[in-house]
Chain A
Amino acid sequence: MSNVTLFDVANGLATLLLTGLGSILPQPLHGWLINPNLIFALAATLFGAILLGASMINTIMLIWFERKMLGRFMDRRGAMHVGYAGLLQNFADGLKLFRKHTLRPREADSLGFYAGPTAYMVTSVLIFGILPISTGWSSGVLPLSLLLALAIFSFAPLFIFISAWSSNNKYSLLGGMRSAAQMIAYEVPILLAVVAVILVSGSFDLTTIVNLQQNYWFWGPLFLALLVFVVGMLAEMERIPFDLPEAEAELVEGWNTEYGGMLFAFFMLADYVRALVGSILVVLLFLGGWTLPSYVPSALTSFPLAGIFWFMLKTYIVFGVFVWIRASLPRVRTDQLLKVGWMRMIPLSLLSVVLAAMLVLVRCLPVFGCVPGLGG
C-alpha cells in the first residue's frame, strides 16, 4: 500500500502553490506567503476542498452509476447522450438547477424554508470529513469518529421536518412527519448493530475498526448485525423499499414538493451523499474497508492508491446492491415500516449484540478463527 496520505498531498499542493505564487510576487508578500503557518492553514483548507470535491464528484458519479444500473435492470439504457455514456448528465442537471429561479411559496416560512435544505446538505457533507478512505486518507485520528459520524448522520430528520413544515404544503407535512418517524425508528437498530461492531473491535475509531479487519472481515461473524445495519441504512437513506417520505404515488414528491432550483438540488445531492455515506459505513464496518484478505496476491494491493481503489470498488458494489433492491421491491406502508422497525429490527439487533458479546467472551470464533485485537 502506498504511504501517501491525503494530508501529504494537500500539504504538497499548498507548498507548491504558495511558493509559486510567492516567487512571482514582490518581496513583502513573498515573505508573508512562504510561511509554515500559512502553508499549514492552506493545506488544511485544500485538504477540506479536495475531500469535498472528491466526495461531491463521487456523489454525482454515484447518481450516474445508479441511473445506468437501474436502466439495465429495467431493460433500457439510461442517460447516454450527454457526455460519453451520459457521464455529464448529472453535471448538466446540477448546473441547470443552479440557474433555476428559486421560488418560495408566499405562505412558507422564510427562515425554515431556506435553512432546512442548507443545513441538511451541510450536515450530510460534514460526515465526509470524518470517514477514513484509506490509510492516511482521513482527517486524522478521531478516537470517536464512528460515534461522531452516526451522530451527524442522525441530524437529518430534524432538518427534513423543518423544511417540510415550513414549506406549508400538506404533502410536505405528511412526508416530513413520516420521515421523522421513520428515521427515529431506525436509529435504534442501527446504533445497536454498530454496538455489536464496537464490542468485537473494542474501538470507536473507524480506522482502528478497519485495521482490525485485516484478516477477517466482520460480515461473517456479525452477519446479523450487517443485515440489520443494511436494512436500517436503507430506511435512513429513504430509498425503496423505505422511501415513504417521498412516496411519489401518494405524496407528490414528499417533503421536497415545494422545493425547486438550487434548494431541490441540495436535497437531491444530500440524499445521494447520505447514500454514499451509508455504503461507505457498510464497507468500513463490515467489509474490511480498504483491506483485502491476506491470501490475495500482493500485486493487487501494492499499486499506488490501491487502498482507495479497493475501497471505492467495494463502496460501489454495496451501492449496487442498494440499486438492485430498489429495482425489484415495492415500497412498504408506514405502519408496516414502523412495525418492522420496532418489532423486528430492534430484537434482531439486540440479538446481534448478544452474539457479539458472546464472541468477545469466548474470544474465539469456531469457524473463522480468532478475531485479532480483541480487547481484554
Chain B
Amino acid sequence: MWVNMGPQHPMTHGLWNLRVKIDGELIVDVDPEVGYLHRGIEKISEDRHYNEIITLMDRCCYVAGIAWEHVYIGAAENALHITAPERAQWLRVMCDELQRLASHIMWYAAFVQDLGLMSPFLYGMRDRDLILDLFQSFTGGRLTYEYNRVGGVRNDVPSGFTDRCRKVMDWLMDRFVEYDRLCLGSEIFRRRCDGLGVLKAKECVDLGVTGPMLRSAGVARDLRKDRPYAVYDRVEFDVAKADAADVTARYLVRMEEMRQSVRIVRQTLDWLDHHPGPVLADHLPRWLGAPYAPMGNEGYLLKRNFPRGTGFAAVEEPHGEAQAYVVNTGGEHPYRTKFRSPVFVNLSAAKHYMIGYRVADIPPIMGSVDICVGEVDR
C-alpha cells in the first residue's frame, strides 16, 4: 500500500511528499518527492545585483539564513576578487555559529515533537527566540537578516551586545543539560531511537551525505576544520563525532555541536571586544557600494574592465556542506548561480536509511535528517 505522507503532513516540517510503500507497519519502499517549494532562486538571481541576491539567500534556507548568506557571499567575493576585512570575517563566524545554535535548537524542538514529546518544542522555541533577539539587535531581522554584503557586513554590533550574548550563551548551556535529561534520560526515547535509520560511513560517502548525518557515522569531516574558511582556523573547537550512525547518534552529534558552537561564539566575542575595525571593504565597485544606484549604460560597464571570474565557496552549514558556484561575466548581475544544498543530498539518500523500519519510525528518522525544504527546492 502506497501512502502519501505530504505535502501537508505533520511529519514533513515543510512542503514535500514522502511516498511510502508499507506492508502492515513495515516500510518496503520510499520515494521522496520534492519541488513543492521550488521558487527558482537560481533564475531570479540572474536578474539581480550581487548584493540583492542576499535577500534571496535568507529565504533560501529559512532556519539558517545567515549561513546561506555566508555561502553565497564567499562565492561572490571569490568571483569578484574582493576580500572582506578581518572584523567582518569574525562577525560572520559568530553569526554562523549563532545560526547553527538556532537551527539546531529548532531541529531539536521539531524532532522531539515528532516523537510525541510535547514540552521540548516549547522549550526549544523559547530558547531559540533569545538567539533571534540577539540577531535582531544587530541585523534588524528575526529570520531574514540581510546582514552580509559583498566585501563585509552591513554594520558592526552595537555596544553592549557581547555582554548580552555571553549571558544568553550561559543560559543555553544550562538548557542543554535540561534537553538531555528530557531525551536521553528517558528510557522510552532511547528505545525508540537506538538502532534506527542506520546509514554507515561507506554509504554516506557514496551517497554524498554530509553534516551531522555523516559525522554520526564516525567520519569526522567538518569543513570548518578540514578547509577552514573565514577565521575558523583561529578559533578552537572540536568536531563532534559519534559512531552508531543511528538516530541517537545524530542527536548526540547535534547536541555536542551546539556546545562547541557556544564555545566558538564565546571566543569570537572575546576577539570582537578587543579588535575594533572596519567591517566593510574599501574600494568596492560602484554597484556594490552601500547606496545602490543605476549603473549607467552597458557600454561603459564593459569599458571599465570589471573583474570576471567564477567563484566557488563551501561552508559548513547547520545541515551539512553548502556550496555556491557563482559565474561572473563582468556584468552587474551574475551570469549563473548554482547552490548545493546539503539537505537535498541527504534527502535523496532516503531509500538507504528508511527501508526496513516501521511506519512509526518515519518521524524520528526524518526528524534526525533535519529537513529544510527551502534549501532542498531553492
Contacts and interface: CB of A to CB of B under 8 A. Distances in A.
A and B touching (Cβ–Cβ under 8 A): yes
Interface of A: 70, 73-76, 170-171, 174, 240-241, 243-244, 247-252, 326-336
Contacts of B1: 170
B11 A249 contact: yes
A326 B117 CA distance: 8
B192 interface: yes
A247 B363 CA distance: 10
Contacts of A241: 116, 188
Given A249-B362, A330-B112, 6 more contacts: A74-B118, A171-B3, A329-B117, A330-B189, A334-B360, A335-B25
Interface string B103-130: 0000000001111111101110010000
Interface string B355-374: 00011111100000000000
Among B1, B118, B363, the most chain A Cβ lie within 10 Å of the Cβ of B118
Contacts of A76: 122
B301 interface: no
Contact of B362 (A240, A250, A332): A250
A327 B358 CA distance: 25
21 contacts: A70-B118, A74-B119, A75-B123, A170-B1, A240-B118, A247-B116, A248-B10, A249-B116, A249-B362, A249-B363, A250-B360, A250-B363, A326-B118, A328-B117, A329-B188, A330-B116, A330-B186, A331-B115, A331-B117, A332-B188, A334-B360
A249 B114 contact: yes
- How large, as a class, is the contact surface on chain B? 20 to 34
Interface of B: 1, 3, 5, 9-11, 25, 112-119, 121-123, 126, 182-183, 186, 188-189, 191-192, 358-363
A75 B186 contact: no
A336 B113 CA distance: 19
A73 B123 CA distance: 10
A66 to B, nearest CB: 12
Contacts of A335: 25, 358
Contacts of A170: 1, 3
A171 to B, nearest CB: 8
Closest 4 A/B residue pairs (Cβ) = A331-B116, A249-B363, A74-B122, A330-B115
A334 B191 contact: no
Nearest to A253: B10
Contacts of B121: 74
Interface secondary structure of A, over-half rule: loop
A250 B359 contact: yes
Contact of A327 (B5, B9, B118, B188): B118
A174 B122 contact: no
B114 A333 contact: no
Contacts of A326: 118
A154 B113 CA distance: 30
A70 B117 CA distance: 12
Given A330-B112, A333-B192, A174 B119 contact: no
Contacts of A331: 115-117, 188
Contact of A249 (B3, B113, B123, B358): B113
A62 to B, nearest CB: 18
Contact of B11 (A74, A250, A334): A250
Given A329-B186, A330-B115, A332-B192, A252 B126 contact: no
Contacts of B191: 332-333, 336
A249 B115 contact: yes
Nearest to A328: B119
Contacts of B362: 249-250
A369 to B, nearest CB: 36
Contacts of A247: 116, 360
Q: Which of A75, A248, A327, A335 has the most CB of B within 10 A?
A: A248
B359 A75 contact: no
Nearest to A248: B10
A251 B192 CA distance: 17
A240 B112 CA distance: 13
